[in-house]
């Protein structure tokens, strides 16, 4: 383990020590008494500096060095106090539009809404459910939900329990026209939230049915998902997509089939433009497999550990400086005045 300097800037003060030393040497050579008779005394004075004076000056210099080193705070990390580096920050962007309330998923032998299944699996993704979804304890995770209007519920945070509570409180918007889907603005807000974090890796996980259908009379100027994808690509943030809903070929209604095809195409294009993953979930088991696949492929590599506890050296340096100071004072009063 390498030593660290908590206040490394203080080491620049060490440059003052040689300057102080030279000043002391010059001051010692300066005559204290100016008189013509002194010229008769000069030949009888010692040519070299007393060794007692040199030791005295060396002690004071050592005091200064020890104090400066104590101010710089050298320290060593405690190997038992390691924390994993939070190298991934990502936003969970979840669709809570009216289509998420459709009961076309089966769980426990009964038909349930897409949102109920998605909520439970996403909770397992955040805090852990089984060996396939052990949780993302080392990530900074934010949450955005959207229908027509977008709610930025949480910026990237390590408080995953709070995210689970927010997911449990979220419900699909069933009242039209607010129940439509605004994917573009949701991604724009997610990118803004990720812009405030300094994590070395950032991603967005979009869970939606893929149908961007914002009525212009309700919300004019809504961004298209592909616009958000272009912005994400310029920022270097991949957008991973999980499309929830039946395969377009399995939809009997012609209009609904066309909407599903458009939604599927948009989700794939968003992932392709940004270099993300495009996953499909036509039923509950497929959604769990998609989330497990995403979890396995996006786990960050921990390059180095962080430490929250260090062994500080400044108390020992400070105590040493006090001892040397006492020795310097003793030398100044008792030994240095003696004639060599």
Which pair of tokens denotes residue 120? Answer: 């439970």
What's the fold here for domain 85-297?
A: Rossmann fold (3.40.50)
- Looking at residue 40, what is its pLDDT? 54
Q: Which structure tokens are listed for 102?
A: 């459709």
Question: 275: left (phi > 0), else alpha (psi -120 to 50), else beta?
Answer: left
Task: Give ranges for CATH 3.40.50.410 in the chain.
Answer: 85-297
pTM given for the model: 0.67
Structural contact between residues 93 and 38, judged by C-beta atoms closer than 8 angstroms: no
CA distance 340 to 337: 9
DSSP strand E in the chain: where?
4-5, 74-77, 82-84, 88-95, 105-107, 110-112, 140-146, 150-157, 201-208, 239-244, 278-281, 305-307, 310-312
- Residue 339: its pLDDT value, please? 47
| Cα 141 to the center of its chain, rounded Å | 11
What is residue 226's three-state secondary structure?
A: helix
Cα–Cα dist 178/51, whole Å = 90
- Mean pLDDT in each 10-residue stretch from start to end of the chain (340 residues)? 82 88 70 55 55 80 90 79 70 94 87 93 93 89 95 94 95 88 96 88 92 84 93 96 90 84 93 96 94 91 61 87 88 65
């Amino acid at each position: 383990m390498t030593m660290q300097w908590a206040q490394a800037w203080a080491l620049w003060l060490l440059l003052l020590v040689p300057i102080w030393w030279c000043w002391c040497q010059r001051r010692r050579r300066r005559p204290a008494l100016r008189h013509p008779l002194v010229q008769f005394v000069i030949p009888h004075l010692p040519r070299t500096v007393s060794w007692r004076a040199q030791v005295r000056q060396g002690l004071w210099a050592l005091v200064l060095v020890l104090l400066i080193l104590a101010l710089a705070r050298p320290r060593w990390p405690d190997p038992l106090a390691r924390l994993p580096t939070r190298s991934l920050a990502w936003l969970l962007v979840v669709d809570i539009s009216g289509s998420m309330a459709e009961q076309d998923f089966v769980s426990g032998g009964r038909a349930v809404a897409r949102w109920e299944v998605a909520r439970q699996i996403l909770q397992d993704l955040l805090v852990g459910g089984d060996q396939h979804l052990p949780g993302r304890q080392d990530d900074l995770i934010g949450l955005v939900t959207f229908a027509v209007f977008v709610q930025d519920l949480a910026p990237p945070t390590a408080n995953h329990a709070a995210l689970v509570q927010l997911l449990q409180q979220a419900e699909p918007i069933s009242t039209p026209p607010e129940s439509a889907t605004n994917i573009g603005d949701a991604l724009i807000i997610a990118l803004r939230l990720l812009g405030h974090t300094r994590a070395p890796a950032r991603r967005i996980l979009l869970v939606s049915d893929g149908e961007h259908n914002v009525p212009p009379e309700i919300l004019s100027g809504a961004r298209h998902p592909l616009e958000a994808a272009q912005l994400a690509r310029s920022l270097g943030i991949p957008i991973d997509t999980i499309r929830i809903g039946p395969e377009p070929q399995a939809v009997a209604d012609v209009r609904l089939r066309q909407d599903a095809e458009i939604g599927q195409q948009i989700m794939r294009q968003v992932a392709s433009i940004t270099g993300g993953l495009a996953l499909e979930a036509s039923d509950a088991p497929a959604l769990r497999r998609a989330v497990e696949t995403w979890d396995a492929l996006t786990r960050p590599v921990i390059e180095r550990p962080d430490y929250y506890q260090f062994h500080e050296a400044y108390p020992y340096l400070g105590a040493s400086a006090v001892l040397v100071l006492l020795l310097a004072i003793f030398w100044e009063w008792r030994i240095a005045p003696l004639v060599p």
